[in-house]
Amino acid sequence: MSKHYRYLLTLVALLCIGALVYALCRGKDEAPSGPFHSVGRAAKIHPDYSGAVIPANIAPLNFSVEEAGAGYYVKIYSKQGPQIELHSRSGNILIPQNSWSKLLKTNRGQEVRFDIFVKRADSGASSQSEEGLWSRFDSVVNRIAREDIDGFLVYRRIDPVHSTWKKMGIYQRDLQGFDESVVLDNGYYGGGCLNCHAFCNNRTDKMLIGIRSPKYGSSALLVDGGAASKIGTKFGYTSWHPSGRVAAYSINHVSQFFHTARDEVRDVVDLDSLLAYYLVETGEVKTTPAIAKKERLETYPAWSPDGRYLYFCSAPKRWTDNAAIPDNYDQIKYDLVRISYDVQSDTWGELETVLSAQDTGLSILLPRISPDGRRLLFCMCDYGCFPVYQSGSDLYMIDLTAAKKNGRYEYRRLGINSDESESWHSFSSNSRWIAFSSKRKNGVFTRSYISYLDQEGRVCKPLLLPQKDPSYYNSCLWTYSVPELVVERVKLRKEGLGRVVRGPAKTPVDFPVTRATPKAGAASPPESSYLTERE
């Protein structure tokens, strides 16, 4: 044996001995034994998951106990199955994924309880006290829903940018664990923007992503089956017809501006907008006068699950100058309207108002209808077209089944709203879960939340998208917007998608409207190197 190998062997042996000594010295963590000092309240935990209804297929709800102590012990249990016992010196409770998953799946519809014990920091001094070393807090209780949530959440991750950014991407998160992977980021086409990802029926075999690239131009990336292609125009907010044959989208002439004395500095206004639709089979882009009125601003299309109606938002356009922010920008309020459509004959019916801004006094935005067709979820805020920048933006719901019966669209504000902006909501394929963006807790950074929606339309306390590190969000500078629930992973590789964006092949779009203001023969203004962007 050479000298070098001897040294190496000695080093390995020393390391093993060191590890053994450490393990022995550390001792075995034991479950606390009574008597306990009963605190009489629940422990403060972060993130606060207490009281939420959780899906059986959610990742472990790791949390940190924010109570002073020298040691922490947590027992997690439900009606059936083995309990999970965890010890921690720091207060960070990291739950093993397999045990957690097993526990939840065997106890659907039951409660899951977290018993939290904290070893008193002054345990040395009080070791003689009758109440003992450990404090016991009231259990944190969650209910496990019977229905699973879709397996993946697709969102856009970006810094809280104003108009300049480096990196942004569409990511998918496996909700059962902590695995996050890139669907596509702007590094695959030399920087630029990507947004407005839209899926058909919560599946990923039909997907659209809007792309803007100073280098490769604007386009819509279409995934249809196992293939990706590029459409020679950018789609704005997009909604797939449930048949997968049509995608309605908005064309928005967005202008960004900034506030000088408001918590949220950023704001945007659509100086002009309209709706168009793409016929997948023929590669045609069309519009119809009812959804592209010159005197109206149309945006946020959303198909009903039966495909018979296109819901969208519409506001009167009271200016002619499309280059300047109108003085009365804070008076722009959108109505919620719908128009019937026959996909077989590609014909449109009459426009009807579902809910008018005049009645609500607020701007109605982002309609989404549950896949079972029973509920319409939307945002309302003081003015404008972009709820993420409005701290007053809240989620509202209309019971469409009731509306069908009594002919009235009655809306109600959901109890899950906060003082900050709520927006970008989506339904799971089984209509039992909603994912949405919220700026609660900080006002700047958008995070993804999940809420259970029961059969009666009650929406339960939202659950912050769990992360492996419970303190992750404390220093996380990303914003997570447009969380879309999908039942499967996006299968196409990111480089494959990037290659399509970079490639010259694209479906040409023979459509007179390239920007929101139709001007026959007029060229689109060039993209600036620092493209205006919004979350």
Residue 191 found at the interface with another protein (CB under 8 A)? yes
Supply 356's token pair: 């008018």
Sequence-ordered strand ranges (E) for 245-362: 246-258, 266-279, 284-286, 296-303, 309-316, 335-342, 347-355
Indicate which single residue of 39, 70, 325, 513 sits in contact with another protein (rule: CB under 8 A): 325
Indicate which single residue of 282, 442, 455, 524 sits in contact with another protein (rule: CB under 8 A): 442
Residue 164 found at the interface with another protein (CB under 8 A)? yes
Choose the binding region for another protein from 79-87, 91-99, 162-170, 352-360 (rule: CB under 8 A).
Answer: 162-170
Residue 499 found at the interface with another protein (CB under 8 A)? yes
Residue 166 found at the interface with another protein (CB under 8 A)? yes
Question: How far is Cα 516 from Cα 532, in angstroms, rounded to an integer?
Answer: 16
Question: How far is Cα 390 from Cα 446, in angstroms, rounded to an integer?
Answer: 12
Residue 443 found at the interface with another protein (CB under 8 A)? yes
Instruction: Check: CB of residue 362 under 8 Å from CB of residue 393.
Output: no
Choose the binding region for another protein from 112-120, 184-192, 205-213, 358-366 (rule: CB under 8 A).
Answer: 184-192
Find the binding residues for another protein in span 382-441 (CB under 8 A). 441
Instruction: Check: CB of residue 311 under 8 Å from CB of residue 337.
Output: yes
Backbone angles phi, psi at 151, to 5 degrees: -70, -20
Q: How far is the CB of 309 from another protein (least distance, A)?
A: 38
Across-strand partners of 248? 239, 277
User: Please, what sign has the CA dihedral across residues 461, 154, 168, 195?
Assistant: negative
Residue 494 found at the interface with another protein (CB under 8 A)? yes
Q: How far is the CB of 499 from another protein (least distance, A)?
A: 7
Residue 44 found at the interface with another protein (CB under 8 A)? no
Strands across the sheet containing 284-286: 238-240, 246-258, 266-279, 284-286
Residue 163 found at the interface with another protein (CB under 8 A)? yes
Find the binding residues for another protein in span 233-262 (CB under 8 A). 257-262
Indicate which single residue of 42, 444, 487, 513 sits in contact with another protein (rule: CB under 8 A): 444
Q: How far is the CB of 349 from another protein (least distance, A)?
A: 41
> Could you tell me the CA-to-CA distances from 377 to 31, 365, 366 in Å, in that order?
46, 10, 8
Residue 179 found at the interface with another protein (CB under 8 A)? no
Instruction: Check: CB of residue 412 under 8 Å from CB of residue 425.
Output: no
Choose the binding region for another protein from 189-197, 219-227, 242-250, 375-383 (rule: CB under 8 A).
Answer: 189-197
Q: How far is the CB of 472 from another protein (least distance, A)?
A: 8
Q: How far is the CB of 325 from another protein (least distance, A)?
A: 6
Across-strand partners of 209? 221
Residue 473 found at the interface with another protein (CB under 8 A)? yes
Q: How far is the CB of 332 from another protein (least distance, A)?
A: 15
Question: How far is Cα 167 from Cα 189, in angstroms, rounded to an integer?
Answer: 11
Instruction: Check: CB of residue 458 under 8 Å from CB of residue 464.
Output: no
CB-facing half-sphere around the CA of 165: CA atoms within 13 A: 27
Footprint of another protein (CB under 8 A): 159-166, 182, 187-191, 257-263, 265-266, 325, 441-445, 469, 471-477, 493-495, 498-499, 502, 530
